[in-house]
Chain A
Amino acid sequence: MNPERKKYRIQFLLEWFFARPLGQIAFSSFLIAVVSGIFLAIPFDIKNPYDSISLILLTNPGAVFFRNLHYWSAQVFFISTILHIIDHFRRKTEKKLTNGVWLRVTISIFFMFFVMISGFILKGDADAEQALRILKSLFEQIPFIGSTISYSFLGRERDYQLIYVHHIAIATIILWIVIVEHSKILWAEIKVFVYTLIFVAIISFMFVPSLHDGKSPIVKGPWYFVGLQEVLHWISQTQLVLIFIFLLFLFD
């Protein structure tokens, strides 16, 4: 193919892709995640998360569907939010936000990551425990206030209560406030919401996110966390890793 024609085709595809209402998709999937999370909270037992999820998987097909819906909508929310951010940088429309809103939107990225990883940790399986340990050690390496931050976000050893409260309430509410503030809408566009719901529902009907069986020697965090685990594999000093993450965040 003619190289110029190939370049034109790629550009066309990118334009088409980014012309999708990524922000609406993100908001829609966020709302689906919130509502499905409410239904999931009913059979979920925070005192024995692993056991309660394994029981859900075996005995409660309805709860399994809502768990799947919750998981996949969260993934769509995360990915579409990242793409939405990239899109705004690409079109240079981030300058339209006021400084205050810009600051809150930036901070909300951390809460978005936290709500995702806290959901992962609340599985209570081997993957989750490892992710929790890594996160805890990273927080504790923050100079002066590390232990306080770690305790404030992650709570006590072997006690998921605080993480649960942050996941279902605090982080979620903060995210919703920031979304509403910067998008200036209370609800996603109905057409986008329906399409997103159908898409996520189909995937949820088919695919169940895994629960570590306690046997497999492979223990990994969620896909968006393994990059960090890879960095930790190469750089053993966690302060350097924190600086690396900070720089990654800053330059992006």
Chain B
Amino acid sequence: MFVYLILTVIGFCFRGENWEFVMPWYNPAELTPKFKPTINFSDLSNEELAETEFRQILGRREGCIACHQMSGFTEPHDPEKIGCFSCHLGNAFTLNKNAAHKGMILIPGNLSDAKFTCGTSQCHPDIVPRINNSIMTTMSGVVSVDNFVFEESTSPSIQSHVKDLAGTDADSHLRNLCASCHLGNEKIELGPIDELSRGGGCNACHLNYNKDAIEQLNVYIESNVKRLKAIEYKEQMVDFPRVHPNLNLQITSDHCFGCHSRSGRISTNYEGWFETLPSEQEIADKKVYRTLMDGRVFRKNKPDVHFEKGMECLDCHLAQEVMGDGNLYLHKEDQVKIQCIDCHSNQSSNKMSFDELDYESRKIVDLRKSRRENQDFLVTEKSELPLISSYITSSNEKYLITKTSKDSLPLKPPAFVCTEGKAHQRLSCNSCHNEWVSHCVGCHTEYNPNDDGFDLLSNKDIEGSWVEHAADFYVDYPVFGVKKDSKSGKETIDTFIPGMIITIDKMKNDKNKKIFKRLFAPTFSHTINKKGRSCKSCHNNSLALGYGKGELVYQVNGKAGSWKFKPKYENLEDDNLPKDAWIGFLQTRNEISTTRTNTRPFTVEEQKRILLVGACLTCHDEKSKTSMESLYDFEKLLARISKKCVLPN
């Protein structure tokens, strides 16, 4: 009996979910305590009780609706169908207010509770594990590259997780300046997702407030503040909102904006804004400037052509990308499934009928009411995922229906210059079509132990802070480099920006250590233009080749020709390269010079080939017959150049 008693104590006190061993004082799966005193003391009178109808919801009755009648829900999340308890927890079986609210989650949907709220077996059990592994939760690339820059690891591509950040220099740097932009960051304040929002789990994308919900929330906050501040207001009832925010598929670019207006700035790039250094007070012509809620000032530039057509982020990016597919990825581009050729192709496209769709895709099509009879969906080349906002007509015309405005946009194939001939076969689409990128050069970062800081991971004030001093911010074409696909080995020429050209000193843990890093990062800057770049903007452009800005001139001296380069910026002492350069003129770098292990700058041979064409362009117009022929077979063209041509030595 004594043995059984021991087993009983272990079973009752030390076993949690799936019979795992837990400490009784820390059992995260214990949502509400087992025996709750006084929960049978109802706060409702008998008359009120008689008037309330407790409908059966998901096999049980819930007491929540006795006090909370709200509207504003989408049908799947209507309390008539799922109750309040499914999301907010607490105790559904009591009418005692304190007991009912014990263990309640005011803002469900954060990843810390998503397993018990959104992700239960009755709701979305397959999605929460995917999000937990998504790079938007792990921040793997950010953490890994930061560790590499701080020389705390030997590779920028190590699987990492933001929740594992500790107290090293790199970790404290991230915790101080970066570690809020992940889905594990909790939403703790009521209100819509806005420019200042970071993280929030499922709410980050799916939470929407309509006009009434916002108005009522503001009234509630005001009435609560008054009640707390002044004694005379304490007796007044607080104006609780009656309209609940919505959880739906209306995911706009505004949801993405908060986090993605940082780091690579793709949200702001997409809308045609680039960040500038002046403060709001300094900008003279306010029409071309915009100040964000966090005080950063942006200047107007040309937006992405997709933005101009009315497309939002989710019109390209699929659920399997954004919420993840369950796999862990090292860097963000590894998680992305969509490519330009999935929509813009002159090949016959892979397609899928509605009946062939997976359950999730079918569900989304049904919810969006976007199904068209006898019309198929496009399928991505990578991972063979359906583009459920697309359709192909019987005459093989392809269209995309925008998710918010429901416009039908024709999907045009690329121009002949993109696909014909051998010359540009290695180029990615955005190599030509990226209108501009943001360049940031000459950063200096140091740790100041006397500054007031904030730990973005634990969300608390700390002593000491990392301070970044930005030097030059400007807008220009991207730099080109080479990316190698790890699976196929195929090399592609792609766009890069300065990941960092940075000096770090006065570290938190070692004041004497100084680090200088010049690393370029692959980017898809989301500033696509329809027309594409001019030939000279690549072949005769020092910035494009990685030398930095400056004068790149082809000098002909009799029968000899040579390229000369005079950089705009002075060389830095640390590595004797111009401030904004990736590589030296007609040189290359053998050490890791990028934030990836599968990317590199041009080799000298590649630079020479590019400059060879550039030499031709100094005489031949881009649209001339010669230039057009060179796209098809440049070697053949070279074999029959005229005597007047002077090629570089």
Contacts and interface: CB of A to CB of B under 8 A. Distances in A.
A208 interface: yes
Interface stretch (A90-98, A154-162, A225-233): A225-233
A240 to B, nearest CB: 15
B613 to A, nearest CB: 63
B278 interface: no
Interface in A87-138: none
Contacts of B27: 218
Interface stretch (A16-24, A49-57, A140-148): A49-57
A68 B40 contact: yes
B93 A218 contact: no
B425 to A, nearest CB: 54
Interface string B11-47: 1100111110000000101111011111110100000
Given A65-B40, A210-B35, A230 B10 contact: yes
A230 B95 contact: no
A226 B15 contact: yes
A217 interface: yes
Contact of A220 (B11, B42, B61, B62): B11
Given A68-B40, A217-B29, A227-B4, A208 B35 contact: yes
Interface residues of B, number: 49
A217 B4 contact: no
Contacts, number: 116
Contact of B63 (A58, A217, A248): A58
Contact of B116 (A50, A217, A223): A217
B94 interface: yes
A234 B116 CA distance: 27
A236 interface: no
A64 interface: yes
B60 A51 contact: yes
B65 to A, nearest CB: 10
Given A206-B38, A217-B17, A59 B60 contact: no
A211 interface: yes
Given A208-B40, A216-B30, A216-B31, A54 B17 contact: no
B86 interface: yes
Contact of B60 (A206, A214, A224): A214
Interface in B95-143: 95, 115-116, 120, 122
B25 to A, nearest CB: 15
Contacts of A211: 93
A252 interface: yes
A152 to B, nearest CB: 26
Contact of B11 (A51, A68, A208, A230): A230
A35 B120 CA distance: 40
Interface stretch (B51-59, B247-255, B408-416, B460-468): B51-59
Contacts of B120: 215
B71 to A, nearest CB: 22
B37 A54 contact: no
A220 B29 contact: no
B58 A214 contact: yes
Contact of A51 (B8, B61, B63): B61
Given A210-B34, A223-B12, A217 B40 contact: no
Contacts of B42: 61
A223 to B, nearest CB: 5
B3 interface: yes
Interface of A is mostly: helix
B237 interface: no
A3 interface: no
Interface residues of A, number: 36
A215 B37 contact: no
A181 interface: no
A213 interface: yes
B49 interface: yes
Given A58-B54, A215-B31, A227 B8 contact: yes
B1 A252 contact: yes
B600 to A, nearest CB: 48
B49 A57 contact: no
Given A210-B34, A217-B116, A229-B11, A58 B61 contact: yes
Given A227-B8, A231-B7, A252-B1, A54 B34 contact: no
B270 interface: no
B230 interface: no
B602 to A, nearest CB: 55
B383 to A, nearest CB: 32
Contacts of A86: 1
A215 B62 CA distance: 13
B583 interface: no
Contacts of A246: none
A114 to B, nearest CB: 17
Given A208-B40, A213-B92, A215-B120, A220 B8 contact: no
A120 B61 CA distance: 19
A195 interface: no
A12 to B, nearest CB: 22
Contacts of B36: 207-208, 210
A144 B7 CA distance: 29
B5 interface: yes
Contacts of A215: 31, 85-86, 89, 116, 120
A228 B3 CA distance: 11
A220 to B, nearest CB: 7
A208 B39 contact: yes
Contacts of A229: 11, 15, 19
A227 B12 CA distance: 8
Contacts of B63: 57-58
Given A51-B60, A230-B8, A248 B3 contact: yes
A216 B32 contact: yes
A55 B66 CA distance: 13
A55, A217, A252, most chain B CB atoms within 10 A: A217
A230 B60 contact: no
B16 A218 contact: yes
A216 B11 contact: no
Nearest to A64: B40
Contact of A209 (B4, B35, B66): B35
Contacts of B29: 216-218
Contacts of A217: 16-18, 29, 115-116
Contacts of B1: 86, 248, 252
Nearest to A245: B4
Contacts of A213: 31-32, 60, 85, 89, 91-93
A220 B7 CA distance: 14
Contacts of A214: 58-60, 122
A214 B10 CA distance: 23
A19 to B, nearest CB: 21
B54 A207 contact: no
A213 B61 CA distance: 10
A223 B9 CA distance: 8
Nearest to A252: B1
A230 B15 contact: yes
A89 to B, nearest CB: 10
Contacts of A233: 15, 19
A211 B85 CA distance: 14
A85 B8 CA distance: 19
Interface string A186-209: 000000000000000000001111
Contacts of B39: 208
B3, B5, B11, B39, most chain A CB atoms within 10 A: B11
B17 A207 contact: no
A207 B99 CA distance: 12
Nearest to B60: A54
5 contacts: A208-B39, A215-B31, A215-B116, A220-B15, A227-B11
Given A210-B36, A215-B86, 8 more contacts: A210-B35, A213-B60, A213-B93, A215-B85, A217-B29, A220-B12, A233-B19, A248-B4
Interface of A: 50-51, 54-55, 57-59, 61, 64-65, 68, 86, 206-211, 213-218, 220, 223-224, 226-231, 233, 248, 252
